[in-house]
Amino acid sequence: MRHDHLITSKHLTREDVEAVLDRAAEIDADPDAVAGKHEGTILGLLFFEPSTRTKMSFETAMKRLGGDVVDMGSVESSSVKKGETLADTVRVIEGYADAIVVRHPSQGSAKMASEFVDVPLINAGDGAGHHPTQTLLDLYTIRENAGLDDLSIGIMGDLKYGRTVHSLAYALSNFDAHQHFVSPESLQLPREVVYDLHQEGASVREHESLEEVLDSLDVLYVTRIQRERFPDENEYQRIAGEYQIDLETLEGASDDLTVMHPLPRVDEIAPEIDDTDHAAYFEQAHNGVPVRMALLDRLLEGGVSR
């Protein structure tokens, strides 16, 4: 069994992260240097949940490296609809592809799937669990805008179900980062994640109001509060409204504050922020391609990942 899968950011070391980010920076600066490098390589895309950015950026990354993709398509049009297990699906696709990307609504799905295949498997989101490749592009964006050490970052919104938040928090524990988690009480970080962060000795504080920390932040990472999590529409409206930002909200922030969002946004960030120097969320999405190119390059060459 090979072990060059990427299932969680939890076990990534600082060296692992920096190696991918450095490679991404090289590729970003000179994409032609790797054009065609992995000609003939096939990447299998298994998305059991809708995805635009993650799926398309993986597809773009593979094609820019000279390879191609095979795509399961929507769940409705696949054999999953007939009741096929994930374990069977990945074992079949392993015969078609040199590496596999899986997004699935169940926590632990990527880890389980990786136990059934002998090609690199990348977790592109497992329920409320992890989303390590999003984390790598988040870190790349943070490094470009604010640096990764002596960093004060606010992570706001749905911290309970937000897999990008969990993965980012784990990875940041490798760096000299002060993490401020801002959310309503009902959407706080899972206790498991807090337990792990404390075990790692990470600097972690939890808040209910952004005002408590805004002026100290270098980065504000905003996530969507999902309407479907609330049985009561009024409760959703009341809470969601408190975790939206606009120009007025940012009046108390540093001029250098970088605002990020893993996208898609709904109304968490007012469009008026898009044209300010704060906005880094489109740049963040664009970074998905060079970062995933760097990651695929390393995994396909047998580079160490977790």
Partner 1 sequence: MSDNHDDDHDHELRVSKIRNGTVIDHVRGGQALNVLAILGIDGSQDEEVSVGINVPSDRLARKDIVKVEGRELSQEEVDVLSLIAPDATINIVRDYEVASKHRVERPEEVEGVLTCPNATCITTENEPVTSRFDVLEDGVRCSYCETIVRDEIADLIDSS
Catalytic residues: 53-54, 82, 103, 131
Q: How far is the CB of 296 from partner 1 (least distance, A)?
A: 24
Among 42, 70, 128, 270, interactor with partner 1 by CB under 8 A? 128
Residue 264 counted as an annotated binding residue: yes
Q: Which of these ranges, 47-55, 99-107, 243-251, 268-276, lies near partner 1 under the rule CB under 8 A?
A: 99-107
With a CB cutoff of 8 Å and minimum separation 6, the contacts of 272 are 246, 247
Q: Which of 52, 85, 209, 216 binds partner 1 (CB under 8 A)?
A: 85
The number of CA neighbours under 13 Å toward the Cβ of 93 is 31
How far apart are alpha carbons 204 and 232 in whole angstroms?
31
Residue 73 in the binding site for partner 1 (CB under 8 A) = no
Q: Is the dihedral of CA 206, 212, 218, 223 positive or negative?
A: positive
Determine whether the annotation assigns residue 91 to a binding site.
Answer: no
Residue 224 labelled as part of a binding site? yes
Rounded to a whole number of angstroms, the CA Rg of the chain reads 19
The residue from 44, 67, 120, 129 that contacts partner 1 (CB under 8 A) is 129
> DSSP assignment of 163-202, as one string?
HHHHHHHHHHTTSSEEEEEE--GGGPPPHHHHHHHHHTT-
Which one of residues 104, 178, 180, 224 is an interface residue with partner 1 (CB under 8 A)? 104
- φ, ψ for residue 282, nearest 5 deg: -75, -40
Classify strands 151-156 and 258-260 as parallel, antiparallel or unpaired: unpaired
263 is in an annotated binding site: yes
127 binds partner 1 (CB under 8 A): yes
Residue 270 engages partner 1 in binding (rule: CB under 8 A)? no
Place of tokens 């970052």: 153
- From the list 25-33, 187-195, 288-296, 297-305, the region that binds partner 1 by CB under 8 A is 187-195
Tell me how far, at minimum, the Cβ of 86 lies from partner 1, in Å.
Answer: 6
Q: What are phi and psi of 79, to 5 degrees?
A: -70, -10
82 is in an annotated binding site: yes
**Interaction of residue 192 with partner 1, rule CB under 8 A:** yes
User: Reduced to 3 states, what is the DSSP secondary structure of residue 9?
Assistant: coil
Residues at the site binding partner 1, with contacts judged by CB under 8 A: 83, 85-87, 104-109, 111-112, 115, 126-129, 191-192, 195
Binding residues for carbamoyl phosphate: 53-54, 103, 131, 134, 263-264
